Structure 1
């Protein structure tokens, strides 16, 4: 937490660390990161209050959001924070699990292996085998999901936000996420592909095509997915129409004003009338451009650049509305929603470039600002999610939670398999790895292999602890169930009891679990390979011109 007294900044003597000392230091630092967000797992998760240098606060229990904000000095701890970011970008969910599991448990178990003088390379080799076995177990206990079934999809999305701040509006948020994904994923390539692999899949770009617009004020229940696009823009001239049904829309990436010369351009006038003639030429150029547009009889012209007063005057005369200086990303989404093509030169404009799939263009005033709505689109490939709420802090948290829900829905579109939640999958992997380790009997690799099996249990154990249950008794019961092959049993995070997840209806995306395991093992392997931490010298120090002492790496 920059600017404040940090929760933890790993400070130790800035000396060179090598061998066992470097490994122990890295493991300790990584474990400290895990301890910070351990209480953020499950439906009874606690919130963290993070203060920023400007005095603002962030209230969240999203593991990735917390780790993005806190300030750490230790290189291994920074590595863990990057790990959470990777998981968030890849899956959008499982960021807390991956941090609790990797540094908190796998590396803690690795420490005892290192103390037994088992070489890191041997430990890494055992971890690779354990990963392969874990992925096989996950695939074995996964069940397919019908992505066209609203009921199945909503129950899945509910699991991703069941632990979050928005759980009170769970039904609403799940519907918003599902509607948005259905619009964005209406892609023939995605819809027709029956994908059973996590590689080589065309992704649905939620960030680009499903934009969230946060408007403070109103009630959270007023949030909705617009079947089209919303912009924080108003028309350029007060006389233009503010409401048009079935508009013909032209999208431009060029200015509707006279293109002025560069700064080096000189104009020399010899006669008195030349200046007026130069002004007339400018006006004629603009009129020619605008008249070319008017020929296509558009109702609405949207450009990423400026619109001159003269152009506005001509547009008003012909009953055309204009919106200027729209962001490139917004223009791309409008094109996908209304079926138009963005044109760079007015001379290149064709009838086929005009968008006619929008049902209604209207401008509304919300609070103190004007917003443009392009809604009732026939087959939009992009959408806007309008979030309302009492304050910016609450809206930001809802936005983070909604992003997780949409990511989960997106993952299932590509990999339509689910595995039981509530720590059931982790316990199934743990019991399976324990049994598989017996086949490695006699080899040194059996120890690290079993260490991974023990480490995986951290998820159900943390769920029980966060819900205030007796971890030892419940985990023993759960282990017995899984030893009998009842892989559907997991922990109810609300009551701290073990329940059948099939009846309870708690399932998670298999792709998130697979990615969590891969990320976790890969990160543990990387940190175990580090056997030397050395300090770099700032370059400006060598030249003698640098100010201040060299930056010391603390670790």
Structure 2
């Protein structure tokens, strides 16, 4: 129904809602993602720089790990947050290639931005990208080399060294690759749970002072009087692991007793003492020489064990306790009354040692060792934290390589080969609109070798031209040689990466690009501002002006 020949205005969204849509919105989202890409791309490769990030509390982080950078960047643009998600997914699935996946996603969007501006339908672009992604993944699987034959340990060390090449520890790669491969091979090969590799950080000393412990090591726990009288070293001890509190106060706190006569109070006190003594005597009777508990072991129990040449530690962290059980074969007991010999664990050597300014308990030579510990040393806390992140990437790469034994060459070789293949295929076999999209995707893949050259200070244009020529000639593994500043066969130079890193990065980057392209409208609801009465002494409207834009949930202008 019309009123006076005019159609009434219908308000669906409340006042203050920001609504943007259409092609301009897609381009705006692409520009936001390119801003994130420009922040992170300088960290790519062996000569990439590190970022120093300071959070709101002043905590400093120095890193070039893509997942860590994306997590610490406080990105507010909703579309650009998708890049954070793909970096996390790459970190969870593969463990390495987190910077590459963000750089690649940004470059794909940059290459297709021109097509969006020219009015090509988003759905046409998305179909073309998905087709190109599937072809690229198939090509990588086709050219990948299987490593099931030959020296597995040596292959894994080469893969770990490539993962470390862009990290702070690349100068000590030989030292750490052996440590990483030993750590992963010490795990149960059926599930390869990397959480059973304990990493302890102790400031002081040099990187080469880091230790690989084929067993468990953890920091000395909080201790009571009598602890120093306990022995600090055993050979072949029996170990009992508890989830029991050995303190007097626990019995008082857990019961309410009512008495009629004062003389009965002594009987209650005696009963409390008797309960804890019964627990300790039961533990002594098991013949265990090391008693560990997740809960506190008080001063009475500490002194009792010291008198009988038994080592005890209370308040052991649950993850450390789980790794002790895995290594020694012990099982956690929640009572002291019925501990049988099968419940006890053992190791060939137990020691308490001083490392730097800390004292650590070591369980070595464990018969059931399905776990290990890496004790990292270094000068600064930030440096050791970055070493830990670097080792995490290498550990994940080795873990994936054991399960997926196909590898490709790094240094941009794999991307250039796939790019050359897609260009050739698109020219001959894709006649319609999608040809331009596939070729744009092929060009985007070249961002990896180009950025590697830029970060290393090489002439990127010259190097890319040389790479294109080599790949057209059929040199599948021609990549950037950072040592001699030239093009060489990176498979022969042992610059290896698991094929899974490349396939997962391409799939995640294309998925993110398609998601951003499919969004052509953004609706942002802003909470309405409640008007307040003017404050006394202020001119009318001054209170509202002072509060404008500071409502809860409203962005700062």
Measure, in 2, the Cα distance between the counterparts of 1:367 and 1:419.
41
Map 1:264-283 → 2, pairs under 5 A: 266-283=256-273
**Distance change in 2, residues 1:317/1:550 (3 Å):** closer
Counterpart of 1:170?
173
Measure, in 1, the Cα distance between the counterparts of 2:485 and 2:81.
33
Counterpart of 1:114?
116
Counterpart of 2:51?
48
What SS does the corresponding residue of 2:135 show, helix, strand or coil?
helix
Map 1:350-499 → 2, pairs under 5 A: 350-356=340-346, 358-499=347-488
Shift of the alpha carbon at 1:300?
0.5
Aligned: 1:16 with 2:22:
no
Aligned: 1:341 with 2:343:
no
What SS does the corresponding residue of 1:230 show, helix, strand or coil?
strand
Aligned: 1:225 with 2:212:
yes
1:13-66 superposed Cα distances (whole Å, 9 cap, x missing partner)? 994221112111110010111111211112121222223334443322222222
Measure, in 2, the Cα distance between the counterparts of 1:504 and 1:94.
20
Q: Is the 8 A contact 1:43 1:494 kept in 2?
A: no
More deviation, 392-401/241-250: 392-401
Measure, in 2, the Cα distance between the counterparts of 1:316 and 1:541.
68
Shift of the alpha carbon at 1:171?
0.9
**Distance change in 2, residues 1:211/1:148 (3 Å):** farther
1:428-460 superposed Cα distances (whole Å, 9 cap, x missing partner)? 111111122235433222221111111111111
Q: Is the 8 A contact 1:14 1:552 kept in 2?
A: no
Structure 2 gaps of 5+ residues are 1-15, 532-546
Measure, in 1, the Cα distance between the counterparts of 2:146 and 2:496.
11
Q: Is the 8 A contact 1:536 1:553 kept in 2?
A: no
- The structure with the larger Rg is 2
Q: Is the 8 A contact 1:93 1:408 kept in 2?
A: yes
Q: Is the 8 A contact 1:467 1:496 kept in 2?
A: no
Q: Is the 8 A contact 2:20 2:522 kept in 1?
A: yes
Counterpart of 2:61?
58
Measure, in 2, the Cα distance between the counterparts of 1:61 and 1:155.
21
Moved over 6 A (4+): 539-542
Q: Is the 8 A contact 2:239 2:291 kept in 1?
A: yes
Shift of the alpha carbon at 1:498?
1.0
Q: Is the 8 A contact 1:154 1:178 kept in 2?
A: yes
Paired residue total: 522
Question: Quick one: which of 298, 305, 308 aligns to 2:288?
Answer: 298
Aligned: 1:260 with 2:251:
yes
Shift of the alpha carbon at 1:349?
2.6
**Distance change in 2, residues 1:95/1:262 (3 Å):** same
Please, what TM-score do these two structures have when normalized by structure 2?
0.88
What SS does the corresponding residue of 1:334 show, helix, strand or coil?
helix
Shift of the alpha carbon at 1:513?
1.1
Q: Is the 8 A contact 1:229 1:333 kept in 2?
A: yes
Question: Quick one: which of 29, 33, 54 aligns to 1:30?
Answer: 33
1:174-215 superposed Cα distances (whole Å, 9 cap, x missing partner)? 11111111112x33x3xxxxxxxxxxxx4x222x21111010
More deviation, 144-153/516-525: 144-153
1:281-312 superposed Cα distances (whole Å, 9 cap, x missing partner)? 11111122222222211011100012233333
Question: Quick one: which of 114, 127, 130 aligns to 1:128?
Answer: 130
Measure, in 1, the Cα distance between the counterparts of 2:316 and 2:100.
40
Question: Quick one: which of 33, 39, 42 aligns to 1:39?
Answer: 42
Please, what TM-score do these two structures have when normalized by structure 1?
0.89
Counterpart of 2:492?
503
More deviation, 512-521/363-372: 363-372
Shift of the alpha carbon at 1:88?
1.3
Question: Quick one: which of 137, 146, 149 aligns to 2:139?
Answer: 137
Shift of the alpha carbon at 1:471?
2.3
Counterpart of 2:308?
318
